[in-house]
Amino acid sequence: MVGVSLSRWTMTYFAAALVALLTAEILMSVGWGYPNAVLAAPSTLVLVHLVTLGWLSLLLCGALFQFVPVLVAKPLRYPQLPLITLLLLVAGISTLLLGFLGLRGTLSARGALFPIASTLLAAGFGLVLWNLGRTLASARPLTLPARFVVVGLLSLVATVALGITFALVLGADVTAPFAVRLFAYGLPLHIIAGLGGWLSLTAMGVSYRLLAMFMLAPESDRRSTRAVLLFGAGALGVSVLGGTVVIGFDHGIAAVLAVAALPGLLAIALYVHDLVHLYRVRKRRVIELNSRMAAAAVASLAIAAVLLIVSVGTESLTQNVAALVFLILFGWLSGLGLAKLYKIIPFLTWLECYGPALGRAPTPRVQDLVAEQRARKWFALYFAAVWIGTGALLDHAAGLFHVAAALQLIATAGITVQLIRARRLIDVPAPVRFPAGSRRPALLFAALDARPTTGD
C-alpha cells in the first residue's frame, strides 16, 4: 500500500495559472487581440499563449504532479523538481510573450528573446516529462486514465517542438527550408497537438478518474473509453505526424486533416457518451457543484464538435475558427479546470490542515471548506459569459464579445475569491476551524512534511 503525499508546489502552479487567466481576461475585456486584431497578430499570439501556456499548461502540470501519483498509486519520482520546473516555465512563458510584444513593435529590444524562451520552455517541459514519465514508467502496466496522460505528454512534446520551431523562424534564428515550411503551413498541427492532445486528452483521462471518484461511480475499463484513447491518439498521430511528413514533402495538409477529423470526432462523441454514462450510474445522487459544472464543460466540448461539423459542412470553418478555439479553450478546458479547482483546492487543503488531526479530534468535512451557494452564481455567470462570447465571435460582434469577456473576468474573479476562501478556511465555522493537531496551511504551497508522522 503506497501512501501518496501532498505535492508541495501544486498550489503555486494553480496561483500562477489563475493570475495568467485573469490577465488574459483583462486583455480580452479591453479589446486586446482578436477580434480587434487579426488571428495571427502579435497581440492575439500573446493572448493565446497566456491562456494555453500560462493558464492551462501550468494548471495541468500542477494538477498532474499531484494527480499522476494518485492515478498510478506510486509516489512522484522527483518531488524536489516541480519548483525549479515552475520557475523555468514561468520565465519561458514571460520571455515568449515579450518576444511576441517585440514583433508588435511594443518592445524594441527583441534580440534573442525567442531562442531564450525556447530554451527555457524546452527545459521546463523537459523536466515535466522526465518527472511524470519516470513516475508513470514505474507503474506499468498502466491503468486506462494513465494511458491518456501518456498520450497527452507525447502530444506536449510535439506541441513544444513545433512551437519552438515557429518561434525560432519568427525570430529569424532558423532559416532551414523545412522549418520555414513548417512555420508557413504547420500552425494547425501545433494547435491540434496542443489543444487536442496535450490539453484535451490529458484532461479527459483525469476527468474519468476524478468524476468517478467524486460521484461514487464504478470505475470500469469500458470498451468505449479504450476507443476514445485509440481514436484520439489515432487522430493526433495522423494529423500531427502525417501533417509534418507531408509538409516535409511540400504538400498541403488539408487531406491529412480531413482523414484525421473522423477519428477525432468519434473520440469526442464517445467521450461525451462515456461521461453521460458516468453521471447516470453514479451512486451519489446529490452531486456537488464541481461535478455539475464539469458537465457544463463537457457540454461545451460537445457543442464545439457540432460547431466544427456544421462549419466544415457549410464551408465556413475559416470564419468560425476563432469562435471554435475560444469555446474549446474557455468552455471546455477552462470550464473543466475551474470546476475541478473548486474541488481539488478544498480537498488538498483539507488533507494538509485536518489530515494530521484525524483520529485525534472531530474534523470538518471537505464540503465544509466551500460555500457552494455563493460560488454557484459565479460559475453560472462564467459559462453564460463564455457561451455569449462564442456567439459574439460567430457573429463577428466585437462589442458584444468585449462585454462577454468582461463578464467572464468578473466571474473568474468571483471563483478565484471562493478558491482563496477555501484555502484560507474562511467558510469553516471558527469554533471547529483548527481542532487539536490540525495545521494552518500557507496560501501558496503545502507544508514540507505534508504527511503524518508515525508517532502519537
Partner 1 sequence: MSSTDIVPVAERIRTALRVVIDPELGYNIVDLGLIYDIAVDVAGAARVLMTTTTRGCPATSYLQEGARHSATQVAGVTSVEVVMTHEPPWSPQNMSSAAKQHFGIPEEGAA
**What are the C-alpha distances in Å from 285 to residues 42, 89, 288, 336?**
48, 41, 10, 21
Residues in the chain: 456
Binding of partner 1 by 5 (CB under 8 A): yes
Binding of partner 1 by 141 (CB under 8 A): no
Binding of partner 1 by 138 (CB under 8 A): no
- The nearest distance, CB 332 to partner 1, in angstroms, is 25
**What are the C-alpha distances in Å from 332 to residues 36, 262, 390?**
24, 20, 12
Per the CB < 8 A criterion, the answer to whether 99 and 49 are in contact is no
Binding of partner 1 by 429 (CB under 8 A): no
Q: Which of 15, 46, 71, 236 binds partner 1 (CB under 8 A)?
A: 71
Binding of partner 1 by 221 (CB under 8 A): no
The grid coordinates of residue 91 equal: 520565465
**What are the C-alpha distances in Å from 8 to residues 212, 365, 418?**
25, 22, 21
Binding of partner 1 by 79 (CB under 8 A): no
The grid coordinates of residue 40 equal: 495571427
Q: Which of 69, 205, 232, 389 binds partner 1 (CB under 8 A)?
A: 69
Please say which residue, 98 or 146, places its beta carbon nearer to partner 1: 146
Binding of partner 1 by 435 (CB under 8 A): no
Please say which residue, 20 or 428, places its beta carbon nearer to partner 1: 428
The residues, ordered by sequence, that sit 6+ positions from 159 with a Cβ below 8 Å of its Cβ are 190, 193, 194, 197, 198
Please say which residue, 176 or 216, places its beta carbon nearer to partner 1: 216
Stretch that binds partner 1, among 65-73, 129-137, 251-259, 306-314 (CB under 8 A): 65-73
Stretch that binds partner 1, among 87-95, 301-309, 357-365, 382-390 (CB under 8 A): 357-365
* Cα–Cα distance, 340 to 232 (Å, whole number): 22
Binding of partner 1 by 360 (CB under 8 A): yes
Please give the residues from 274 up to 293 whose contact with partner 1 meets the rule CB under 8 A.
Answer: 283-286
Binding of partner 1 by 185 (CB under 8 A): no
Q: Which of 314, 316, 319, 367 binds partner 1 (CB under 8 A)?
A: 367
The grid coordinates of residue 357 equal: 488531526
* Cα–Cα distance, 385 to 415 (Å, whole number): 14
**What are the C-alpha distances in Å from 331 to residues 38, 91, 209, 324, 413?**
22, 28, 20, 10, 16
Q: Which of 184, 216, 245, 444 binds partner 1 (CB under 8 A)?
A: 216
> Which residues are at the interface with partner 1 (CB under 8 A)?
1-6, 66, 69-73, 213-214, 216, 219, 283-286, 347-348, 350-351, 354-356, 358-363, 365-368, 451-454, 456
